[in-house]
Structure 1
């Protein structure tokens, strides 16, 4: 994996620590503090970066990946197979096009499994199949919880049933898959890698159905990481920014279908207060944004691979560009009123403009 903002943050961190050491020595009367600062920073940063380069071998290791029908899961299954792992690719539709493309590899190290993470019987069957397919001497090293779905809309617009459906896949599905495979991973002292998002760090208006599930995944990752430390199991969260152009998690057709469902199920008082013009404008913007985001999945695949193969993995891998790096930093470190002042004016302007055209 090349240089990224995770590594930049680590270098900055050790620069701060080195600066603190230098200031402490200066307070004690030493006169060579600038050299101490430079030396400590270079040595500590170099050591941290060198440790991140130590890898574990893929030989004799298997990985389960959920949500391999398309997008990140599909690409990751192929990528990990190329890296030498035995891959169990869980597909919602094991007779679909995505599963067929995986089977075209004609490899005994790439096994497609029917896996709806909301169905306990399928998870139990998948665990049994993994045990059956693992050769003698191989272990289930990793689980990548990738399966997820998305919906968008204001809290007052989205039907409660939609929230339940998304939570069922994005939260309870992650939890169910983890509980199913964890005994095998625990005995291998392996890895659990949860696909989160910058939406698990930054709450964004109109994305609450998806965002609340990613906040839950972040919390689950933290809790499980602490519980699994005694077993030698690492738990990592990978937090990509917007890669929708590559994953098609959101499509214009999907947004249109959700818009029709929301408007039809919306209470009359909500329809009246927001107005049809405002609703249509917001949903049009959502349809237009469905083609946005990064098209190259390589940074996400690299982060997921590092989470599985680094000898000393990070708790979080943030796959972001400069905009999202600064936005996440602002969300974490600035007061909420300041973050809103910096990042909400455009959203507020769009909302006010659409409402002004139809002040019902």
Structure 2
């Protein structure tokens, strides 16, 4: 019995390995539109796909970021400035993409643009602090996708949405975790909607990586600003020791971040180029071995693990 089970499991992984090695043909003729290419995952993916010979349409927030990317890539890659929180900017970028892809349609859409700050205990934040993050990480993803969907459907292509392990486990206050939970839900519903059109939707769930999305120096200043703007009651309840411990925790986490961004961009590339892409990709050993498995544990156990070394308010009931 056990031998039969081992053989079946072995055959499953062998077939899966073989299927995942099958690559889409004529990649050099396919267009991929990527948001958030100024730095980080988007920048590396744009260069990576350009080296593979694909036709990359890279969206950057600033012209400076676009110029730096063009200087590091071939003449095939083209750039456009895009603010995913601005409807007019999205409409202009959509028209620009239409003019480039023509009747071929858009093979790949990678929703990568994102921000993290402010991150702090929820009680320190205002509604606008949440809205600022949600506008980029969730509403921006939705509007860009809806605008470009007809072109993706025409090519029977791919939509790749960058979520996070923080879309499985909410480890901090603020809009970031909320937005990534939203990306997960939007991607799931989108995948089911587009199944009948031959469009595949993949979700990338990175662990912790060192990118410009959460620069430690800027985060420290932002957290101090949130603390300074908090009410006297909040300051008295949480206390200065909480602030110091919270900062120390974030610093320790930042120091544990992986610098190998290719672990994420390789997942993105596979989602765009494989004949049989996965629905979800966990990127980074921390995601694979710790955070994703932990998301399946009972809630009381997850809460105990997360709060084990977390800072505690000075005044509690």
* TM-score (normalizing by structure 2): 0.92
Size of the aligned set, in residue pairs, is 315
The aligned residue for residue 190 of structure 1 is 157
The aligned residue for residue 7 of structure 1 is none
1:308 aligns with 2:272: yes
Residues 1:279 and 1:187: Cα distance change in structure 2 (over 3 Å): same
Residues 1:126 and 1:306: Cα distance change in structure 2 (over 3 Å): same
Contact 2:30–2:55 (Cα < 8 Å) also in 1: yes
* TM-score (normalizing by structure 1): 0.82
The aligned residue for residue 89 of structure 2 is 122
Residues 102-158 of structure 1 deviation map (CA, whole Å, 9 limit, x = unaligned): 221463421110100011111111111112223x66431011000000021001012
Q: CA deviation at 1:264?
A: 3.0
Bigger mean CA deviation after superposition, 57-66 or 315-324:
315-324
Unaligned runs of 5+ in 1: 1-32
Residues 1:154 and 1:318: Cα distance change in structure 2 (over 3 Å): same
Q: CA deviation at 1:210?
A: 0.9
1:261 aligns with 2:225: yes
Residues 1:232 and 1:207: Cα distance change in structure 2 (over 3 Å): same
Residues 32-69 of structure 1 deviation map (CA, whole Å, 9 limit, x = unaligned): x3443343233222112111111113121000000011
CA distance in 1, matches of 2:287, 2:72: 38
Residues 1:253 and 1:36: Cα distance change in structure 2 (over 3 Å): closer
Residues 174-214 of structure 1 deviation map (CA, whole Å, 9 limit, x = unaligned): 0011011111001110000000110001111x344211110
CA distance in 2, matches of 1:155, 1:172: 20
Q: Structure 1 residue aligned with 2:23, among 32, 37, 55?
A: 55
Secondary structure of 2:312's counterpart equals helix
Q: CA deviation at 1:259?
A: 2.0
- Bigger Rg, which one: 1
The aligned residue for residue 19 of structure 1 is none
Contact 2:264–2:284 (Cα < 8 Å) also in 1: no
Q: How does 1:1-360 map to 2 (within 5 A)?
A: 33-57=1-25, 58-94=27-63, 96=64, 98-105=65-72, 107-134=74-101, 138-151=104-117, 152-204=119-171, 206-243=172-209, 245=210, 247-287=211-251, 289-321=253-285, 325-332=289-296, 334-347=297-310, 350-351=311-312, 355=314
Residues 1:322 and 1:293: Cα distance change in structure 2 (over 3 Å): closer
Secondary structure of 1:55's counterpart equals coil
The answer to which structure, 1 or 2, has the higher relative contact order (CA under 8 A, 6+ apart) is: 2
Secondary structure of 1:193's counterpart equals strand
Residues 1:269 and 1:306: Cα distance change in structure 2 (over 3 Å): same
Q: CA deviation at 1:324?
A: 5.2
Bigger mean CA deviation after superposition, 160-169 or 101-110:
101-110
Aligned-residue RMSD, C-alpha: 2.1
Contact 1:150–1:210 (Cα < 8 Å) also in 2: yes
CA distance in 2, matches of 1:224, 1:137: 23
Contact 1:251–1:287 (Cα < 8 Å) also in 2: no
CA distance in 2, matches of 1:253, 1:326: 27
CA distance in 2, matches of 1:197, 1:323: 9
